[in-house]
Amino acid sequence: MIRNTVRALIIQDGRLLAIKKERPEVGVYYTLPGGAQEIGETIEQTLQRECLEELGMDVVEHKFICIREYISKNHEYSFIMKEVHAVEFIYECRIKATDTFVSSQADVGQIGTEWISIEKIKQGISESDRLSITYQFPITTNDFLKEYFNDQILDPYRNTTFES
């Protein structure tokens, strides 16, 4: 079965907001906030609900940026999530500025949230040795961030103009 999911790309003050997770089989790693669409929910409602559940924060503005496909059997965490096929809708989001997050329904393995410097992410995604990376993202997220932050058209430090 194919499922729709959303991911929130939240950038403020040169930092990316990430979900910090830990699993015995993997160790500590980071993901973008988001999750699966429920029946009867629009994608935008899913985005709002997932950010509220995982971050305890409302999305105040959002802008769709891309779709990507995730097929778990093709990736390094296939032993955790077998037979997942998701179409991910990724949105640039703005939330109310805060450093305190309270998740009401954390994901399995979620141990917190963290603002990560974009410069450190860019440094990490350019490293050839994944063992030396300070912030470990799943390969698909790492590849997305590499493309996003290295795209000359997109300036990750810009003040995105959101349309209502």
Q: What is the mean pLDDT of the chain?
A: 79
Nearest-10 crossing angle of helices 139-150, 118-126: 110
Determine the pLDDT at residue 50. Answer: 93
Give the chain's end-to-end CA distance (angstroms, integer).
33
Strands 15-23 and 2-12, by their bridges, are antiparallel
Determine the pLDDT at residue 4. Answer: 95
Determine the pLDDT at residue 80. Answer: 63
Backbone Cα Rg of the chain: 15
The tens digit of pLDDT for each residue in 129-158 reads: 454 456 677 777 877 887 887 763 344 444
Is residue 109 within 8 A of residue 129, CB to CB? The reply is no
More confident of the two residues 41 and 132: 41
Determine the pLDDT at residue 16. Answer: 93
**Average pLDDT over every residue of 97-123:** 76
Determine the pLDDT at residue 10. Answer: 94
Is residue 18 within 8 A of residue 51, CB to CB? The reply is no
> How distant is the alpha carbon of residue 3 from its chain centre?
17
Q: Which two tokens stand for residue 140?
A: 């698909």
Q: Which amino acid is at 130?
A: R
